[in-house]
Structure 1
Amino acid sequence: MRLSTLITLLLFAFNFQSHAQSKNDLQEKTLFRLGDQPYDLGTFEYYFLKNSERPSADSAKIKIEAYLDLYVNFRLKVQEAVSRGMDKDKDFIDELEGYKKQLAEPYLTTTQFNQKLLSEAYERMKFEVSAAHILLKVEENALPEDTLRIYNEVLKIKEEITKGADFTEQAKKYSQDPSVKMNGGYLGYFSALQMVYPFENAAYQNAVGTVAGPIKTRFGYHLLKVIDKRPARGQVKVAHIMIKTTTDTVTNDKAKKKIDSIYENLREGKDWAEQCKLYSEDQSSAKAGGELRWFGTGALVPPFEDAAFALKNPGDISVPVQTRFGWHIIKLIDKKPLEPFDEIKVDLEKRVTRDSRSQDSQSEVLATLKKEQGFKLDKKVQSNALQGIDSTLKVANWNYDTTSSVLSNVLFSLETSVYTVADFYKYVKSAQRVRKTADLEEYKKQLYDRFESESIFDAEMAFIEQNNQDYKRILDEYRSGILLFNLMEDEVWEKALIDTVGLQAYFDQNAGKYISEEMLKVRKLTSASQEVIKQASQQLGLSNSQLDSVFNDQEALALQIDDLEIKKGEEPFLDGHWETGTYLQESDGYYTLWIVEQVIPAAKLPLDKVKGLVISDYQNELETRWLAELRAKYPYKLNKPVFKSFVKTF
């Protein structure tokens, strides 16, 4: 290598290292102070980049200044909470401890093992399994003889099926799953992460036609019949027009006629959005053209899903499909296959962590941590300690002699600490719950295992909290968030609810803000036939249900009738007819008779009509005043050189 090239590379490495070092130094510097309390740049940067997109060089100063104002307000409130001692409150400490265990999980998980679970889940998501099951329930802490009895009962049912008994009939006869009355044990199609892990394993690991089991889950023992396996269908986005059905036969007949008529309209070329707006009874989607969110297998009822996935090209519509909710016509908007692993990895990690399979991950992590922390167990002390717990544990009434000499015996040790029998007994006393049907020895073992694992995880968490900057910042986020919520509830939210005098005074001072919009109360009659509208206009004394009977018994969509309250801008036609009267509108092949029954004038609304909105506004007012007081109490001083240096990093 030439000497000049070597020197260039060394200089580059030196500059790179110096830059990295200088950035780290910058992050540790104080960005601002509130009173005597400093706040470092690194933590501000964490919050800033988490809550906003990375700015360009041109916009950095403006965006950072805007967020800094919000961040200072946030820190003012948290600092006030600490000054009031809210971080010492027992409820706060207990809540934060609960979050600590969850937040530490990614830092405790064995990467290799977690990757194995992720890969397994993703590979399984490429397929869907159709299965049926028979469930006999067993309590998790059941006595061994009860567990064995249920296990043997499941084996007998399996033997009957092996000899030729019909699985569905056996499910109806024996299964304790409440849904068996409706589905005969059939679960439909499902994919990974939709069932408990042992059940999912049996479904994916056995061939079509197999009756697997007994399978133990937290619900009991199952027999599982694998009915089919197919490639995953991915996700689909559709719109729908729905006509609701009831248990009334006459109403259902009308619904069927109506959905069939809408279907014929669509086949004849009528506009989908127009038909949806006119007739769909799914009010949440009708104004948006019936559009629904993306969904995959297992998200909606099977008849709807199957019809949606059967559509091939965007714009295709289904024949009317019946579900337990009513009749639907479905229009395909788009389809997409299972996304690449890298694109869904973050979401998949969250789902795997929440899933029952994460228990296996925790066992693997625990074994690793035991090695890393130099775990040593005295089995003789453990045995004696367990023997010292009697059957009063099962009724949650166990206690121990606090003067006993055995309490000081070391149960197990780690490199940094030791755990005695006293520590274990204190844990058992606080953790015991009524378990009358449980096996005593098994219950004692469960409590010991929990004590051991929680002690090891707590020791590791203490190390992580002290040494891992990412974890410290995430923990600060949760800690500050809980304190902020508690303080805001006391100082703003609850105060606005309780302070009726202050609320009334605020409303009186701002009554001009709370005015109802002028509206029209209208009756709307719509038809594709001018003659029907003419006849209906001569029978306006009839009720809506009477008009429906007169005009829609023979032809389901002859006349659509609605009672509405309409604001200006919602119906452009009525904006030009803003007074009582009857007006005929013709548009896109439809005739609409608008009967404007009343012009409801704008008016100041009484407090009881807008109380929710007034409370929200009053809370904002209280918060603004309070923040001004906090800024006076904790003067704000920005470190301008650090701020400028940070802006330049963009």
Structure 2
Amino acid sequence: MRFKYFFIQIPFFFCLFLNAQTVDKEVLLEVGGDPVYVSEFMNVYNKNLDLVQDESQKDVDAYLELFTNYKLKLKEAKTLGLDKKPSYNRELLTYRKQLAKNFMTDNTVTEALVEEAYHRISNDVKAQHILVLLSEDAAATDTLAAFNKITKLRETTLIEGFGNVMTQKADGKTIIAEQLGWFNGFKMVYAFENAAFNTAVGETSQPFRTRFGYHIVNVQDKRESRGERTVAHIMVVDKEDDATAENPETRIQDIYKKINQGEDFEALAKQFSDDKSSASKGGGDASVFWRTVKCCKI
């Protein structure tokens, strides 16, 4: 009995399929010899139905007139070659990019990356690393050799200690070893940042590659971020070529007294600081550097 009903249903669904195919191929009108199908008109009409504010445009006959005029204008534009103009192609490319964003953006992934970034700028990692240098376009044989070298170094660190291997194996040419101190998110390339934040304190990561080569990173400690500080300074230097200049320590103490008496720090920096890179900014945005001269700072 079940088979009987099954064979009855097959012709029924086949007829529905053929009917749908017929509707899709039914010609509504022709514009310059090109057919426009009923299915296209119905798709456009139904898609825009909720967006139309004018009730008169919801009428099928009225909408058909608008649709027909649109097709005629489109045909005329193609006949005039407007679709070949550079300005049209640029505008079309802009629309394509705008539409593509909605389909290419994964909101779930974006939210996860935002949460990851917030966590990483809110926390600091203290780490040290060993790098086997390798160019980005290195040959396969060189890449394998570098990977084997960093793998061997990691195995050695587990036996002899990371610090000992840094001291003994780094040559400053092909193998680089560095104490990185504290850092947080967006301070390192992404692959390095991932390894540092995903490795437990006291552990050494598996080998990973960046554009610089193959690394292993040893995480020494983690903590909540202490934030950043913006500082300003006043610096005076020993002007050995000026016999009339005051001793720098005397000068800096005089400036210090002025600050304690309420004088403006920025104004004093602009007037007295010998660090010309920051003096004009009131002592702010000072770059870090070494000088081989006797100097005093506040």
CA distance in 1, matches of 2:273, 2:218: 39
By how many angstroms is 1:120 displaced? 0.9
- Closer, same or farther in 2 for the Cα pair 1:86/1:277, shift >3 Å? same
By how many angstroms is 1:208 displaced? 2.7
The match for 2:230 is 237
Q: 1:262 aligns with which of 244, 252, 259?
A: 252
CA distance in 1, matches of 2:181, 2:102: 34
Residue 139 of structure 2 corresponds to residue 173 of structure 1: no
The match for 2:115 is 119
Given that 1:240 and 1:328 are in contact with CA atoms closer than 8 Å, whether structure 2 keeps it comes out as no
The match for 1:158 is 154
- Closer, same or farther in 2 for the Cα pair 1:170/1:250, shift >3 Å? farther
The match for 1:276 is 269
What secondary structure is seen at the aligned counterpart in 2 of 1:276?
Answer: helix
CA distance in 2, matches of 1:213, 1:113: 25
The match for 1:290 is 283
- Closer, same or farther in 2 for the Cα pair 1:143/1:176, shift >3 Å? closer
By how many angstroms is 1:126 displaced? 0.8
CA distance in 2, matches of 1:118, 1:172: 37
The match for 1:132 is 128
- Closer, same or farther in 2 for the Cα pair 1:152/1:267, shift >3 Å? farther
By how many angstroms is 1:110 displaced? 0.3
By how many angstroms is 1:113 displaced? 1.0
By how many angstroms is 1:112 displaced? 0.7
* Pairing of 1:347-358 with structure 2 (within 5 A): none
Q: Residues 600-634 of structure 1, C-alpha deviation per residue, up to 9 Å, x if partnerless? A: xxxxxxxxxxxxxxxxxxxxxxxxxxxxxxxxxxx
One-letter code of the match for 1:138? L
* Pairing of 1:609-648 with structure 2 (within 5 A): none
The match for 1:216 is 209
Q: Residues 393-426 of structure 1, C-alpha deviation per residue, up to 9 Å, x if partnerless? A: xxxxxxxxxxxxxxxxxxxxxxxxxxxxxxxxxx
Q: TM (normalized to structure 1)?
A: 0.27
* Pairing of 1:288-367 with structure 2 (within 5 A): 288-292=281-285, 301=288, 323-324=289-290, 329=297
One-letter code of the match for 1:147? T
Given that 2:236 and 2:252 are in contact with CA atoms closer than 8 Å, whether structure 1 keeps it comes out as no
CA distance in 1, matches of 2:284, 2:99: 37
CA distance in 1, matches of 2:174, 2:97: 35
What secondary structure is seen at the aligned counterpart in 1 of 2:209?
Answer: strand
- Closer, same or farther in 2 for the Cα pair 1:261/1:244, shift >3 Å? closer
Structure 1: state its 5+ residue gaps: 1-17, 23-81, 294-299, 302-322, 331-650
* Pairing of 1:392-541 with structure 2 (within 5 A): none
Given that 1:134 and 1:176 are in contact with CA atoms closer than 8 Å, whether structure 2 keeps it comes out as no
By how many angstroms is 1:243 displaced? 4.5
The match for 1:489 is none
- Closer, same or farther in 2 for the Cα pair 1:291/1:112, shift >3 Å? same
What secondary structure is seen at the aligned counterpart in 1 of 2:109?
Answer: helix
CA distance in 2, matches of 1:226, 1:199: 12
Given that 2:128 and 2:179 are in contact with CA atoms closer than 8 Å, whether structure 1 keeps it comes out as yes
Residue 195 of structure 2 corresponds to residue 202 of structure 1: yes
CA distance in 1, matches of 2:169, 2:296: 31
- Closer, same or farther in 2 for the Cα pair 1:160/1:113, shift >3 Å? same
CA distance in 1, matches of 2:180, 2:95: 35
> CA RMSD, aligned part only?
4.4
Residue 191 of structure 2 corresponds to residue 188 of structure 1: no
CA distance in 2, matches of 1:175, 1:105: 44
Task: Compare CA radii of gyration and give the structure with the larger one.
Answer: 2
- Closer, same or farther in 2 for the Cα pair 1:140/1:98, shift >3 Å? farther
- Closer, same or farther in 2 for the Cα pair 1:146/1:278, shift >3 Å? same
One-letter code of the match for 1:228? D
Given that 2:252 and 2:296 are in contact with CA atoms closer than 8 Å, whether structure 1 keeps it comes out as no
Given that 2:156 and 2:165 are in contact with CA atoms closer than 8 Å, whether structure 1 keeps it comes out as no
Given that 1:139 and 1:220 are in contact with CA atoms closer than 8 Å, whether structure 2 keeps it comes out as yes
By how many angstroms is 1:123 displaced? 1.0
One-letter code of the match for 2:134? V
Percent identity, please: 34
Given that 1:134 and 1:175 are in contact with CA atoms closer than 8 Å, whether structure 2 keeps it comes out as no
By how many angstroms is 1:206 displaced? 1.6
Given that 1:277 and 1:287 are in contact with CA atoms closer than 8 Å, whether structure 2 keeps it comes out as yes
By how many angstroms is 1:285 displaced? 4.2
Given that 2:201 and 2:219 are in contact with CA atoms closer than 8 Å, whether structure 1 keeps it comes out as yes
CA distance in 2, matches of 1:87, 1:279: 58
CA distance in 1, matches of 2:130, 2:115: 29
* Pairing of 1:22-61 with structure 2 (within 5 A): none
Q: Residues 220-276 of structure 1, C-alpha deviation per residue, up to 9 Å, x if partnerless? A: 21021223322212232332224579xxx968xxx9x62674156315735334431
Given that 1:175 and 1:185 are in contact with CA atoms closer than 8 Å, whether structure 2 keeps it comes out as no
Equivalenced residues, count: 208
What secondary structure is seen at the aligned counterpart in 2 of 1:212?
Answer: coil
What secondary structure is seen at the aligned counterpart in 2 of 1:129?
Answer: strand
By how many angstroms is 1:278 displaced? 2.3
